[in-house]
Homo-oligomer: A and B are copies of this chain.
Amino acid sequence: MQLHKHDVVAKAASILDNYGIADLTMRRLARELDVTPGALYWHFASKQELLGAVADHVLAPACADQPAAGWRHRIEIVCRALRDALLSHTDGAELVSASVAAGRSEAMALILSQLGAAAVEAGMDPGQAALAARSIVYYVLGFTADEQSRLQWDAAGVDVPEPSPTENPSTRFAFGLQLLTYGIGAEIDAGARLR
């Protein structure tokens, strides 16, 4: 049976979920697909390109059309969807961070444009809005990667103390995000006073 990109990405995602990113190697992936490592290079130019495809697969659920709402709420919805998507796969945040840092991920470009559009609606000019969108993504990726690595230490029996154990991760996530949306509001107010 012929190998298709989709099958390769799906199998890669299953290795990711069951064994983590360290075990997601070209040779192992080939073995589980009952194929020779070289076969993968007919479909993908490099491991980096393959990981990019897996990243887009992970991000797909966060790319669904968002319901109409005020800019602040839209940002919260996109960011929650992004975090949920990352958390739903082992090492999801690490994988996506690496793919975003390296070659561009199409899915992340879409998410950035959704966040940017919300910032424009809030009253920012396009340049500021693009930067605000990127800042938000840095926060979500950083927070979630951190959260996910703590989860893994936890599962391994090592318990690392949470900085503030009173609130759960979702509440803490929302609080940090609020800092950024408040900042966007304040930035616009400050800009308006100068005009």
Residues of A within 8 A of B (CB): 94, 97, 101-102, 126-128, 130-132, 134-135, 137-139, 141-143, 145-146, 149, 163-164, 166-167, 172, 175-176, 178-187, 190
The distance in angstroms between the C-alpha atoms of A33 and B87, with both chains bound, is 41
Does A179 lie within 8 Å of B135, measured CB to CB?
Answer: yes
Q: Given A186-B182, A190-B182 in contact, is the A134-B149 Cβ separation under 8 Å?
A: no
Contact of A179 among B102, B137, B143, B180 (CB under 8 A): B180
5 contacts between A and B (CB under 8 A): A135-B179, A138-B138, A138-B139, A179-B184, A179-B187
Contact of A142 among B141, B164, B183 (CB under 8 A): B141
In the complex, which residue of chain B has the Cβ closest to the Cβ of A178? Answer: B187
Residues in B with CB closer than 8 Å to A180 are 135, 179-180, 183
Residues in B with CB closer than 8 Å to A130 are 163-164
The distance in angstroms between the C-alpha atoms of A181 and B190, with both chains bound, is 13
Q: Given A142-B138, A182-B183 in contact, is the A132-B176 Cβ separation under 8 Å?
A: yes
Does A146 lie within 8 Å of B176, measured CB to CB?
Answer: no
Please give the distance in Å from A193's CB to the nearest CB on chain B. Answer: 13
Contact of A127 among B138, B166, B185 (CB under 8 A): B166
The distance in angstroms between the C-alpha atoms of A175 and B146, with both chains bound, is 24
Nearest 3 interchain pairs by C-beta = A138-B142, A183-B183, A127-B164
The distance in angstroms between the C-alpha atoms of A19 and B162, with both chains bound, is 37
Residues in B with CB closer than 8 Å to A190 are 182
Q: Which of A131, A146, A178 has the most CB of B within 10 A?
A: A131
Does A127 lie within 8 Å of B179, measured CB to CB?
Answer: no
In the complex, which residue of chain B has the Cβ closest to the Cβ of A181? Answer: B183
